[in-house]
């Protein structure tokens, strides 16, 4: 690692801290992701999902892994440097994005995602912080949770940011598909218009509730595994009517609203694939009629109601398989380091292993009505939570937190403005 001079910290995630660095030999600016846990063997490093996925996925809209370095039992990913993440950009902008800008970001995100899905991976943690931007170019980053589509369910150790989590994951389906990424794309698309998350759940049950407030109650037959939870949610959500998306995203064209609706379908089978989404009329610029900005979306932003999302880790049913290593740093059994050029550098008494990846080198204020509705909603969530806590030994567990509070890990989420949805609500 002596070749890299660390310049500044760029981010501190669950798995690693990311720094901007300077390669003193090539004068190149790079991003160095230093993993938080120790790595004693190369095999462990080589079987990290992030390494496996990034080695395979070479695409202009997926961040490139240049090198993997192990030094003193510490692991570093040398990544191409990107200037911003989409969350930072949204937070710092004074005006919302134009539909043209959104189309550009979305098209790149979908192209990167289509490549990922085509190559047998799904990301599982898409969110604005994991979309990196330099000038107008967007790249998908943080493949720490990426899964091979061909890998066998059940997928039990899923950890991701709640606001972008698909309903089937919230409902503990054990066999979810790449469609979970498409749900996140829909949520991100809506957020690009409003600069506020569309489903800002404060707990897993509240997350489902927030989704019901926008989409209306689901047809639970799409979630056969969720009988118990669906019965409970139904108590509070069955009479919730869907909100007109155009009312909450007034600056989005009808094409954009339609795409969001399709992507955020309760039923994963109804969501378009990344390739299909790219064919949606939203991307047919000629056909798009610019949508008059009738309301300033900034005015639609509500004060952050004091809500502090409890970003607990969802480690329910954490199983005993050897690859269920903590926080997505999952190691596969039977490693292989073929096709990799490994250099052992023991000069100066420092044990440093370098892995070069040659293939990658080339290449409004809130109204009184809202407050009333919000308090009603909170009351119902409270009732449901009480009901849930009184139920014991249910065959299908309700999503439970194991009590790991990690709010400190993602402080930026706490700063995020929340979009309030005042949907029709009947008790």
Ligand X SMILES: Nc1ncnc2c1ncn2[C@@H]1O[C@H](COP(=O)(O)OP(=O)(O)OP(=O)(O)O)[C@@H](O)[C@H]1O
Closest residue by beta carbon to ligand X: 13
Task: Count other C-beta atoms under 10 Å from residue 182's C-beta.
Answer: 27
Q: For residue 47, give Cα distances in angstroms to 145, 176, 260.
A: 13, 22, 35
Structure tokens at 10: 């760029």
Q: 213 exposed, middle or buried (CB, 10 Å; 0-12, 13-18, 19+)?
A: buried
CA distance 264 to 215: 8
The contact set with ligand X (CB under 6 A) reads: 10-11, 13-16, 18, 31, 33, 63, 79-82, 85, 129-130, 132, 141-142, 144
In the three-class reduction of DSSP (H, G, I as helix; E, B as strand; rest coil), residue 402 is classed as: coil
Nearer to ligand X, 137 or 288 (CB): 137
Nearer to ligand X, 31 or 208 (CB): 31
CA distance 181 to 158: 13
Nearer to ligand X, 179 or 329 (CB): 329
CA distance 270 to 155: 21
CA distance 117 to 272: 13
Query: Which residues have a Cβ under 8 Å from the Cβ of 117 and sit 6 or more positions away?
Result: 149, 178, 181, 273, 274
What are phi and psi for residue 89, nearest 5 degrees? -65, -45
Nearer to ligand X, 35 or 300 (CB): 35
- Taking the complex as a whole, how short is the minimal distance between the CB of residue 264 and ligand X, in angstroms? 21
What are phi and psi for residue 62, nearest 5 degrees? -130, 130
Task: Count other C-beta atoms under 10 Å from residue 136's C-beta.
Answer: 9
Entry field: residues in the chain: 427
- Taking the complex as a whole, how short is the minimal distance between the CB of residue 415 and ligand X, in angstroms? 14
Catalytic residue among 12, 125, 181, 324: 125
Nearer to ligand X, 14 or 251 (CB): 14
Structure tokens at 253: 């064209």
Nearer to ligand X, 53 or 260 (CB): 53
- Taking the complex as a whole, how short is the minimal distance between the CB of residue 134 and ligand X, in angstroms? 8
- Taking the complex as a whole, how short is the minimal distance between the CB of residue 9 and ligand X, in angstroms? 9
CA distance 351 to 360: 25
- Taking the complex as a whole, how short is the minimal distance between the CB of residue 31 and ligand X, in angstroms? 3
- The DSSP secondary-structure symbol of 62 reads B
- Taking the complex as a whole, how short is the minimal distance between the CB of residue 124 and ligand X, in angstroms? 10
Structure tokens at 70: 């192990």
Nearer to ligand X, 198 or 311 (CB): 311
- Taking the complex as a whole, how short is the minimal distance between the CB of residue 89 and ligand X, in angstroms? 11
Alpha helices in 57-98 (DSSP H): 86-92
125 is catalytic: yes
Q: What amino acid positions are annotated as catalytic residues?
A: 125
């Amino acid at each position: 690692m002596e070749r890299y001079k660390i310049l500044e910290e760029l981010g501190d995630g669950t798995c690693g801290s990311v720094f901007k660095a300077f390669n003193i030999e090539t004068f190149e600016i790079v991003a160095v992701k230093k993993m938080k846990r120790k790595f004693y063997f190369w095999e462990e490093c080589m079987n990290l999902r992030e390494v496996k996925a990034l080695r395979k996925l070479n695409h202009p809209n997926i961040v490139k892994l240049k090198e993997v370095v192990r030094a003193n039992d510490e692991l570093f990913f040398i990544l191409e440097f990107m200037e911003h993440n989409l969350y930072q950009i949204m937070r710092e902008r004074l005006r919302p994005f134009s539909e043209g800008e959104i189309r550009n970001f979305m098209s790149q995100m979908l192209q990167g995602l289509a490549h990922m899905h085509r190559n047998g991976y799904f990301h599982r943690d898409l969110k604005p912080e994991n979309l990196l931007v330099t000038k107008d170019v967007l790249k998908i980053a943080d493949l720490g949770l990426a899964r091979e589509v061909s890998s066998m369910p059940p997928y039990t150790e899923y950890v991701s940011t709640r606001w972008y989590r698909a309903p089937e994951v919230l409902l503990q389906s054990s066999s979810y598909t790449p469609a979970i990424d498409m749900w996140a794309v829909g949520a991100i698309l809506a957020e690009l218009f409003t600069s506020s998350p569309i489903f800002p759940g404060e707990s897993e049950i509240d997350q489902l509730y927030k989704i019901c407030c926008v989409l209306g109650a689901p047809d639970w037959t799409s979630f056969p595994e969720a009988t118990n939870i669906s019965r409970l949610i139904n108590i509070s959500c069955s009479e919730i009517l869907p909100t007109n998306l155009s009312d909450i995203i007034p600056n989005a064209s009808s094409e954009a609203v339609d795409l969001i609706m399709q992507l955020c379908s309760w039923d994963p089978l109804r969501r378009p694939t990344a390739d299909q989404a790219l064919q949606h009329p939203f991307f047919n610029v000629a056909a798009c009629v610019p949508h008059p900005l009738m309301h300033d979306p900034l005015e639609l932003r509500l004060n952050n109601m004091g809500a502090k999302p409890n970003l607990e880790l969802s480690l329910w049913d954490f199983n005993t398989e050897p690859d269920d290593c903590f926080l997505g740093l999952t190691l596969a059994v039977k490693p292989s380091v073929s096709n990799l050029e490994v250099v052992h550098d023991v000069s100066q008494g420092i044990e440093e292993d370098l892995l070069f990846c040659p293939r990658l080198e080339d290449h409004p204020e809130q109204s009184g009505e809202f407050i009333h509705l919000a308090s009603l909603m909170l009351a119902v969530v409270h009732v449901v939570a009480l009901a849930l806590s009184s139920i014991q030994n249910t065959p299908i567990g309700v999503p439970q937190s194991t009590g790991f509070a990690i709010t400190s890990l993602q402080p930026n989420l706490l700063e995020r403005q929340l979009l309030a949805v005042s949907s029709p609500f009947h008790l």
